[in-house]
Amino acid sequence: MEFELEAVLSFSGEIDEIIDDISKVISAANEDILKRGIPKNVESGGASVVEHSVEGKDLHVKIISDRYVRAHDGIVRLRKKLSEDMGKKHHVGVRDVKIDQYQIRFELEDEPKKEIKLPFVDNIKIDGKECEISVSSLTEDQLQRNFVDRIINRIKEKVHHQYYEGKEEKWELVWESKKKDIIWNEDPTEAMEERGWIKKGPTKGKWFYRPQAAKILKTMEEIAVTEVLKPLGFEEIIESIMVPFDVWIDTGHMEGIPNEAYYISEPRTRDPEEWEEMIDEIKISRDVPIEKLDQMTTAPRAGVCYAQCPIIYWSLKNRTISDNSLPVLIFDKTSPSARYESGGRHGIERVDEFHRIEPVYIGTKEQLIDLKEKLIERYKFVFEDILELEWRMANVTPFYLQQAGEEEEDGETELGTVDFEAYLPYRGSREESEWLEFQNLSLFKKYTDSFNIKSQTKELYSGCTGIGLERWASAFLAQKGLDPENWPEEFIKRFGDMPKGIELL
Ligand code: ATP
Ligand code: ZN
Ligand code: MG
């Protein structure tokens, strides 16, 4: 890696007279502060100021460096030193640092397959695996906030993704149930719509569940709570459905799913007078003047719950959990999740608004590996003995993570995600059709790190398992049909009688 930075340090006063003292600080810096932090066993030049000149209040410098003491860190150190020394001696300090030119050369792991673009960067030049970028618009604050490293990482990441785009995740069968007799092969959503158990809408990817369908979903919920969560000691919490962006920055959702989130805006004011014109227009036109509404509301700064766990982690941010409370076992079943699924929408299986129980667990690695086994045991009981599903479990890892070797974190395969999948007869044969992921279970280290959640003694891990009620219902109904006579006895026991519903003429 090579860095070549040309910058202007603007002082609070004229510095032509003190150029000699400035030159001395620079020479000393070249020997000392611009070389600090280089590991002993590497041969490195660190950073060096190779040119400097003065013009009025401005000091122009050119710094070159290698990966140790990168030039943008060098300039920050130099600024501090100059301000300290020149402040004491001549009562002037550096007011501002402005980048004129910044060229960075580094090696990529793979040759890019197509052009790469990036904000903050003026130009990206690629020759084979050699990459040279120029940036000139970064402020000092942005330099200090590590923008350059993130720019380099983002370029590497983009090249990496070009190689693994569209590739499947790694899928490894862990367990599968026995085959069950196929007694029905219709699409349960269509069948429920025909019977009037559900109604599509009122907006894209949403459903209205009439009493029959609502009772099926609610029975699924009840089963999950009483047969899985309560026996393992999970306790219920209630959280907000609105997630501010800073929480999604911490979880990575803001960069991971900005294209799937639903966003929330607020009224600019609650003053009724300011809304009067808008209200008049609605009363007269019986329509919403969208442009006017746009002016009366803020740009979004929050989104609708995408998964319930981010707010749960937020609630424990920067806190130390007592050993007495470990493992923390909690769940939310109040907040629905919203996702803009667009072309992927189908039936009640892939919707824009779904109902999910999300249990979250935080504890030591041993505690969570033990919990994972117990959860799987309880789930098995439910899917085998109550719902009598044909289903399977698989270890899954997104392809790009496999390549980065991240799933082998700590050399442990217990971390990662298990998908639970059910066979949907209406989609075709067992072998060729796509099975439905009706829930998952994950364990990882990342969220306790990013939210700085600590215990008294040990390192904490965490995880969640999303119990999708629409997905449980889809799996069950696709295999068992809508006629309770064909439903397993253990399910009927918990479901009771079919609601009368509403007869529509
Ligand atoms: P998929 O690959 O099916 O899009 P995902 O990886 O986005 O799923 P997660 O974010 O892991 O799903 O969510 C966990 C659970 O939430 C899923 O197992 C499923 O039960 C449920 N779920 C996710 N998206 C939807 C959706 N659009 N409609 C209904 N349920 C969903
Ligand atoms: Zn989660
Ligand atoms: Mg998805």
DSSP 113-165: SS----TT-SEEEEETTEEEEE-----HHHHHTTHHHHHHHHHHHHHHHHHHT
CA distances for 465 relative to 61, 443, 451, angstroms: 54, 9, 19
* Nearest to 60, CA basis, from 71, 70, 49: 49
CATH number for region 170-264+305-495:
3.30.930.10
8 A C-beta contact, residue 200 and residue 502: no
Cα 443 to ligand 2 centre (Å): 10
8 A C-beta contact, residue 440 and residue 418: yes
Rg of the chain's alpha carbons, rounded to an integer?
30
| Residue 305 annotated in active site | no
> DSSP characters for 21-85?
HHHHHHHHHHHTTTTTT--TTS----EEEEEEEEETTEEEEEEEE-SSS-HHHHHHHHHHHHHHH
pLDDT tens, N- to C-terminus, the chain (505 residues): 999 999 999 999 999 999 999 999 999 999 999 999 888 888 888 999 999 999 999 999 999 999 889 999 999 999 999 999 999 999 999 999 999 999 999 999 999 999 999 999 999 999 999 999 999 888 889 988 989 999 999 999 999 888 877 776 789 999 999 999 999 999 999 999 999 999 999 999 999 999 999 999 999 999 999 999 999 999 999 999 999 999 999 999 999 999 999 999 999 999 999 999 999 999 999 999 999 999 999 999 999 999 999 999 999 999 999 999 999 999 999 999 999 999 889 999 999 999 999 999 999 999 999 999 999 999 999 999 999 999 999 999 766 555 544 444 444 456 889 999 999 999 999 999 999 999 999 998 999 999 999 999 999 999 999 999 999 999 999 999 999 999 999 999 999 999 999 999 9
CA distances for 108 relative to 124, 153, 158, angstroms: 13, 10, 11
Q: Are strands 207-209 and 467-468 parallel, antiparallel or unpaired?
A: unpaired
CATH number for region 2-162:
3.30.70.1920
Selected catalytic residue, list 70, 79, 356, 471:
471
Q: Closest ligand 1 atom to the C-alpha of 468?
A: 20
For ligand 1, whether the C-beta of 438 sits within 6 Å is yes
| Ligand 2 is an ion; residues with CB less than 5 A from it | 307, 309, 464
Question: Which residue's CA lies nearest to atom 13 of ligand 1?
Answer: 466
For residue 267, whether the previous peptide bond is cis, meaning omega lies within 30 degrees of 0, is: no
Q: Closest ligand 1 atom to the C-alpha of 442?
A: 11
For ligand 1, whether the C-beta of 205 sits within 6 Å is no
CA distances for 479 relative to 69, 388, 474, angstroms: 62, 9, 8
Measured between alpha carbons, how far is 8 from 62 in angstroms, rounded to an integer? 9
Question: Which residue's CA lies nearest to atom 26 of ligand 1?
Answer: 350
| Ligand whose nearest atom lies closest to the CA of 337 | 1
Sequence ranges of the domains in the chain:
2-162, 170-264+305-495, 266-299
Cα 433 to ligand 3 centre (Å): 18
> DSSP characters for 249-272?
HHHTHHHHSTTT--EE--BS---H
| Residue 392 annotated in active site | no
| Residue 210 annotated in active site | no
| Residue 168 annotated in active site | no
Pocket test for ligand 1, best of 305, 350, 392 (most atoms within 8 A of CB): 350
| Residue 105 annotated in active site | no
For ligand 1, whether the C-beta of 307 sits within 6 Å is yes
| Ligand whose nearest atom lies closest to the CA of 312 | 2
* Cβ neighbours of 122 (radius 10 Å): 12
Question: Which residue's CA lies nearest to atom 1 of ligand 1?
Answer: 437
8 A C-beta contact, residue 357 and residue 333: yes
* SS3 assignment, position 391: strand
pLDDT at 399: 60
Cα 359 to ligand 2 centre (Å): 8
